[in-house]
Structure 1
């Protein structure tokens, strides 16, 4: 079994920590984007309901004329 120097282990630990930091940043950004998307979808759903209600209101107004 080959012997590894202390430099190898330090590099391996550094790479591992770096990977963990980058993964954490990406995961945080994805959570933030998911929250923004949920808000956007909520607005779209509310607008669809408002448009439907507005069509109904205009239909009633046209019937009253």
Structure 2
């Protein structure tokens, strides 16, 4: 049977304390990193949503610009026809 001296017992207790402290630190750092990654993912999702919405707005704006140009051409054609009729 092996008898533990006071020094070996203190060393084992110190080792157990160091191991527990190190593991607790690793787990805490891991949880904090995961939390920060989740927060960044939320920000990226918001940004991507904003980019998609801006793209849709730009498409809608292009359609409206095309409609305005078409209306302007129609008005110009009607004005030209009216001016021709006045000359006759």
State the 1:58 CA deviation: 0.2
Consecutive unaligned residues of structure 1, counting only runs of 5 or more, are none
Number of equivalences: 63
When normalised by structure 2's length, the TM-score is 0.69
* Aligned residues: CA RMSD: 1.2
Consecutive unaligned residues of structure 2, counting only runs of 5 or more, are 1-7, 73-88
* SS of residue paired to 1:5: helix
Partner of 2:57: 50
State the 1:49 CA deviation: 0.2
Larger radius of gyration: 2
Q: Tell whether 2:42 aligns with 1:38.
A: no
Q: Which runs of 4+ in 1 moved over 3 A?
A: none
Measure, in 2, the Cα distance between the counterparts of 1:10 and 1:39.
44
Deviations 1:4-62 (A, max 9, x none): 61101110000000001100110000000000000000000000000000000000100
